[in-house]
Amino acid sequence: MPRLLAVHAHPDDETLTMGATLARCAAEGIAVTLVTATLGEQGEVIGAELAGLAADEADQLGGYRYTELAAACRALGITDHRMLGGVGAFRDSGMAGTPSADHPRAFVRARTGGPDHARAVAALVAVIDEVRPDVLLTYDADGGYGHPDHIAAHEVAVAAAAGRVPRVLAAVKPRAELARLVAGMTVPAGYAAPRDGDLGFLVDDAEIGATVELGPGAPARRAALAAHATQVELLPGGFALSNRIAQPDPSAEWFRVVTGDALPGIVSGGPDVLFAGAG
């Protein structure tokens, strides 16, 4: 049985970047383990009812998002979910330059050279040694859009995978395809259309190594997005985060090789393409 490990920074990242892929893997008998580094304590909150959970109010958002993550995992069919180092070991750092990055448990401290890097890597190595994944999925070196916790997750994942995981892939989006999807999107009233720089994870189309078709994973992805209701609002044919910028649903989910075994050319299809030629 192929084995997949996904490493993410916050609840909802797993669904936004690769939800359909994880759902298809789980449904097709691929062993899926999801590791999340933080509870997403610094996230903004959609809707007035739960706004008081935010970090600068009751600071209870992390616990609430943990329940959202559990619901999203059920929607995706993921039964093996871990918090890196245990629940609460690391805290959401917030965006670059914000005071929350100075918190003593901020995950940004797990970046390469940071005081918590070795501890975070050791925690992930323990998971890798237990589940022995064939492929690890995470972010690219820039974290997709520069979030400090995404970059830390990439650096921890790459360090932990070295010599242990045959292939590390990053979730990315082909620039030309996203432009096509955005151009064909109907933006509901009250929402803004994305502009250059609003959508992260973009790479030139030639950098895509593996394309996983949404297929039967699309409904599970939408259900998992709905589970992350404090962070994501579903729109017809797309979704929006708290910034109310409409984004189109993807036409597929895309990955590029970060380290390890190369892919045998550009491959497209079901989740099995992630494992082509690995090991």
Per-residue pLDDT tens digits of the chain, which is 279 residues long: 899 999 999 999 999 999 999 999 999 999 999 999 999 999 999 999 999 999 999 999 999 999 999 999 999 999 999 999 999 999 999 988 899 999 999 999 999 999 999 999 999 999 999 999 999 999 999 999 999 999 999 999 999 999 999 999 999 999 999 999 999 999 999 999 998 778 899 999 999 999 999 999 999 999 999 999 999 999 999 999 999 999 999 999 999 999 998 998 778 999 999 999 887
Domain count of the chain?
A: 1
CB atoms within 10 A of CB 114: 17
The verdict on whether residue 10 carries a ligand-binding annotation is yes
Q: How many CA atoms lie within 13 A of 234 on its CB side?
A: 13
CATH of the domain at 244: 3.40.50.10320
Q: Give the DSSP per-residue string, 180-214.
A: HHHHTPPPPTT-BPP-TTTS-SEE-GGG--EEEE-
AA identity, residue 40: G
The verdict on whether residue 81 carries a ligand-binding annotation is no
Rounded distance between C-alpha atoms, residue 229 and residue 40, angstroms: 13
- Which residue segment(s) compose the domain that 82 sits in? 3-275
CA 88 and chain centroid, separation: 18
Strand 267-269 to strand 210-213: parallel, antiparallel, or no bridges (unpaired)?
Answer: parallel
The verdict on whether residue 13 carries a ligand-binding annotation is yes
AA identity, residue 58: A
Q: What pTM does this model have?
A: 0.97
Question: Which residue intervals of the chain are DSSP H helices?
Answer: 13-27, 61-76, 117-131, 148-161, 175-183, 217-227
